């Protein structure tokens, strides 16, 4: 097998230094987060009302474009100087979310919460859902109950097939 020439090696190194081309018309997930830290839970919030303030109170923090896109951003997009740099990449990551019922546009803001807090919140939500489920299927309904109401009587029965 022939050994590569110095020119072939140089060309290969040149190609390796070039940025990877991403087709403009290709598949693009606008709300995708490529560099997710596994220690955080990521969520898109609507930037309206007090949702952002409530999220911050629940230990969510803003995610910057740099954190979300990471290696996709060209190296030139830095904050080397105020006028020539692109400060927007260190701003919070926002995306167009759509229109509400009244036709007004709204933005979505990417935030993240430490995973330990997210799991604790999820556990509390599940406990509440379990209490509601238990109330629906509690023992009072198993044998059938008659409930007298202002507008008449309601008979709740449980058949063997249910």
Given pLDDT bands bounded at 50, 70 and 90, which one contains residue 31?
Answer: confident
Per-residue pLDDT of 113-155, as tens digits, reads 999 999 999 999 999 888 888 777 765 555 555 555 556 656 6
Determine the Cα–Cα distance for residues 155 and 148; give it in Å rounded to an integer.
9
Distances (CA, A) of 105 to 24, 63, 115, 137: 25, 21, 31, 43
Residue 79: pLDDT band by 50, 70, 90 thresholds? Answer: very low
- pTM score: 0.58
Inter-residue contact 65 to 88 (CB < 8 Å): yes
Q: In the predicted model, what is the mean pLDDT of residues 90-105?
A: 85
50 alpha carbon, distance to own chain's centre: 18
Length of the chain equals 162
Return the structure tokens found at 157.
Answer: 């029965």
């Amino acid at each position: 097998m022939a050994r590569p020439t110095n020119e072939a090696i140089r060309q290969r190194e040149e190609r390796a230094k070039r940025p990877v081309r991403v087709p403009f018309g290709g598949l693009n997930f606008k709300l995708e987060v490529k560099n997710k830290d596994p220690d955080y839970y990521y969520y898109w919030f609507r930037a309206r009302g007090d949702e952002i303030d409530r999220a911050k109170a629940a230990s969510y923090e803003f995610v910057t474009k740099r954190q979300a896109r990471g290696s996709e951003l060209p190296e030139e997009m830095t904050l080397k100087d105020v006028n020539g740099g692109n400060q927007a990449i260190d701003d919070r990551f926002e995306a167009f979310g759509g229109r509400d019922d009244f036709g007004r546009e709204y933005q979505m803001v990417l935030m993240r919460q430490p995973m330990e807090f997210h799991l604790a919140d999820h556990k509390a939500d599940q406990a509440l859902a379990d209490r509601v489920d238990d109330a629906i299927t509690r023992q009072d309904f198993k044998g059938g109950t008659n409930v007298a109401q202002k507008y008449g009587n309601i008979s709740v029965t449980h058949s063997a097939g249910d």
